[in-house]
Amino acid sequence: MASHILTFTVAMNTITEHGTCTIVFGVIGLVISFLCCLPRTSGNMAYLSVASFISIFIAVMIAMIGVGIERPGNQHVDATIQTDLYHAFLAVCNIVFAYAAHAAFFGFMSEMKDPKEFPKSLLLLQAVEISLYVITAIVIYRYAGSDVTSPALGSASPVVRKVAYGIALPTIIIAGVVNGHVAMKYVYVRIFRNSDRMHKRDFVAVGSWIVIGAVLWIIAWVIASAIPVFQNLLSLVRPIPLVGDKRDADNS
């Protein structure tokens, strides 16, 4: 959630050429994300996810074509480099973070009309996801070299990166909303698991959902504001999926 707010501020700063304070952009991202998370079911998330995929696919294609034509970085590509444990571990965790969406799988599966169809969706997701990750990484690194930025959309020229970030804005917002919705639901279910509030729409149920969302998004905004460098923020959150997997394994 925090990484998406931070990415939103990076995108807005790029598009507007730092038209206003970064904190203002962060608050705007916070408000938009919070409002989009207010529906309690994941039904609308499916349609938003389609728009998100189209958005990021077009943005990535623009960035790849841009760096392929302009070749902004040095053309020397290293298959291997000398590194230390710290940077090597961060590189591995970066890959893990790219597939951190597995935390949402069970929540989505529980709301499907036929949960048995989930493996088909998962297979399609992983096939498309891995293909895009590999192709994008190879192309951008080939032409941007070691000068590739984080996020990689910033590796293109100023005009191209503005276009790419502008088209990627729906993804930046929607992907954060999906993650936020999953986090809110986990907290909500944990609190009301043994009560009849799970399916009610009374004041307590709706109010609790709103409060949970507000608290989580404010925490995310604080983290994004405290760590305004995208790579540094990812360095902080990368180990979280590993910790979660270890805890789930211990509980099972």
Packing angle, helices 203-226 and 230-237, rounded to 10: 120
Looking at residue 250, what is its pLDDT?
A: 47
The answer to whether 13 touches 82, Cβ cutoff 8 Å, is no
Assigned domain for 170 exists: yes
CA dist list (Å): 158 to 46, 117, 129, 134? 33, 43, 27, 25
Assigned domain for 251 exists: no
d(CA 53, CA 171): 7
Looking at residue 49, what is its pLDDT?
A: 81
Looking at residue 99, what is its pLDDT?
A: 76
Looking at residue 244, what is its pLDDT?
A: 47
Assigned domain for 167 exists: yes
pLDDT in tens, the chain (252 residues): 777 888 888 888 888 888 788 888 989 999 999 998 888 776 667 777 888 889 989 999 998 998 888 887 666 777 777 888 877 777 777 777 777 777 777 777 777 778 888 888 888 888 988 898 889 888 888 888 777 777 788 888 888 888 988 998 888 888 888 888 888 888 888 888 877 777 777 888 888 999 999 999 998 888 888 876 666 666 666 555 544 444 444 444
Assigned domain for 241 exists: no
DSSP 58-76: HHHHHHHHHHHHH--S-S-
Assigned domain for 117 exists: yes
The answer to whether 232 touches 17, Cβ cutoff 8 Å, is no
Assigned domain for 248 exists: no
Closest CA to 98 of 134, 62, 146, 71: 134
| The model's pTM | 0.76
Helices (H), the chain: 2-16, 22-36, 43-70, 85-98, 105-110, 118-144, 158-192, 203-226, 230-237, 239-251
Q: How many CB atoms lie within 10 A of CB 106?
A: 12
Assigned domain for 125 exists: yes
Provide the domain limits for residue 118.
1-235
How many domains, in total, are found in the chain? 1
d(CA 5, CA 27): 9
Q: Is the dihedral of CA 158, 161, 167, 168 positive or negative?
A: negative
Assigned domain for 250 exists: no
